[in-house]
Structure 1
Amino acid sequence: MPGNAASVKARRLIRIKTSHAVLSRLSRAGEPHMTGITLTAEQIRNAPAPVRQWIEQEVIAALGLAPRMPAAAPPQVPHLLACSVEDMAGVLEHIRGVLPAVNVLFELGRPGISFGRPAVMTFRLMDILHHTRLSEVGEVMTCLEMINQALTEVKKDASVRFCGFDNEGHCLIAPQTQASIATLWQTMVERQQAARAAPAA
C-alpha cells in the first residue's frame, strides 16, 4: 500500500540518519567504525571500469594484500598489428561461419581502456564472456585464437598478432584495430539499413 511504502521509506531514512549520527559521534570520540555496502555479481559486472577497479582496490586493501602494480605489457604487445578496416573485413570473411568468433570480434570494437607506450587497448576477458554469452573464458580464448589465425592468413604472415594478453585477464589490441572493427561494424549496419530501405523506394 502507498501509505505503508511511504512509512517504510521514512523509517529507512530515519535509520540511515541515525546511523550517520552514531558514526559522527564515534569519529569525534576517536573510536574506529565500519560501514559497508552489498553488491551483487551482476551489479559488479555491469559497473563502469573505474568502479570495478575501485572495488578491486578496496578488496585488496581489506585483505592486506600487496598493492596492485600497473600491468606490465607482455612481450608480444609491441608486435600487435595495427589492423586496417580492410584487414578486419578479410578476417570476418574467414570466420563468418563461426558465430561466436564473429561476436567476439565485434566486442573488440567497443571503446576500451588505452594505456602504455606504444598504446594498447585493453578489454576484460570476463566482460567479453558476459556480453557474448559464451560458457567460459576458454571459449573466448579459442575465438580470439581463431581470429589471430585468420589474420595471419589475411596478411600471409605467420608472425603477425591480432591480440595479446596480460596476467590480469585482459585482452590487448592496437587502438587502430579497435577503431577499424568499429568502422567495419558501422559500415555493415548502414548497408543493412540501406538494403531494407531499397524495396520501399
Structure 2
Amino acid sequence: MTGITLTPEQIRNAPAPVRQWIEQEVIAALGLAPRTPAAAPPQVPHLVACSVEDMAGVLEHIRGALPAVNVLFELGRPGISFGRPAVMTFRLMDLLHHARLSDVSEVMTCLDMINQALTEVKKDASVRFCGFDNEGHCLIAPQTQASIATLWQTMMERQQAARAAPAA
C-alpha cells in the first residue's frame, strides 16, 4: 500500500472533482457510507432560475430569520456546476459550517424557508428554489447562484456608498 500526505491548503486548491473524490474516499475509509460511484444529480422538474429581483423578494420575506439569510447568501458563493441542464451543487455540510448552524436539520429548515419565500414571491406553489441529491448536496440553477451573488455585491456597494457619503 502506498500513501500520500496532503496539506489542507493543497486540498482546498485542488480542482473540485479531486476534492469530491478525496471526500468520498475519506467517508468510505471511515465506514460512514458505502463506497459507490458518484451519481449524476437528479433533475428537479420545477427548479427555477431566479433573477436578482426574485432573490431580493425572497430576502425581504426571510429578513427576520438570520440563519436563513446566511444560508441564502452562502448559495451565492461559486459552487460546482455539472449535469445537463447544468445545476450548481453545494455540500450541505459546507452550508452548515459556513452559516454556523449546529446540524443539517437547521440547514434544511432554512432551505425550506427560502423555498417557501420563493413560492410567495413567484405566486406559484410548484416552483422550487433548490433540490437535493442522495449525496448530501443542495442543487440550484446557475442563474440563481449568479443572482444571489449579484444581490450580495449590490448590497455591499450600497453599504460602502452610504459610509462614504458625507453626514448631513
**TMscore range, shorter length:** 0.7 to 0.9
* CA-CA distance at 1:38 after TM superposition: 6.5
* CA-CA distance at 1:36 after TM superposition: 3.3
CA distance in 2, matches of 1:200, 1:114: 44
Q: Which moved more, 1:173-182 or 1:53-62?
A: 53-62
- Cα deviation digits, residues 43-101 of structure 1 (max 9, x gap): 97997644432323544786899996665556562320000000000000000011000
Relative to 1, partners in 2 of residues 1:45 and 1:197: Cα closer, same or farther, differing over 3 Å? same
Report the secondary structure of 2:45's partner residue.
Answer: helix
Report the secondary structure of 1:82's partner residue.
Answer: coil
Number of equivalences:
168
* CA-CA distance at 1:160 after TM superposition: 0.4
Report the secondary structure of 2:26's partner residue.
Answer: helix
* CA-CA distance at 1:168 after TM superposition: 0.3
Relative to 1, partners in 2 of residues 1:38 and 1:135: Cα closer, same or farther, differing over 3 Å? farther
Relative to 1, partners in 2 of residues 1:55 and 1:101: Cα closer, same or farther, differing over 3 Å? same
* The structure with more helix, counted as a fraction of residues: 1
- The equivalent residue for 2:107 is 140
Percent identity among equivalent residues? 94
Report the secondary structure of 1:199's partner residue.
Answer: coil
What is the alpha-carbon root mean square deviation over aligned residues? 3.4
- The equivalent residue for 1:115 is 82
TM score, norm. by length of structure 2:
0.84
Larger Rg: 1
Structure ranking higher on relative contact order (CA contacts 8 Å, 6+ apart):
2
CA distance in 2, matches of 1:66, 1:136: 18
Report the secondary structure of 2:68's partner residue.
Answer: helix
Work out whether residues 89 and 139 of structure 2, in 8 Å CA contact, stay in contact via their aligned partners in 1: yes
TM score, norm. by length of structure 1:
0.71
Where do 5+ consecutive residues of structure 1 fail to align? 1-33
CA distance in 1, matches of 2:12, 2:105: 18
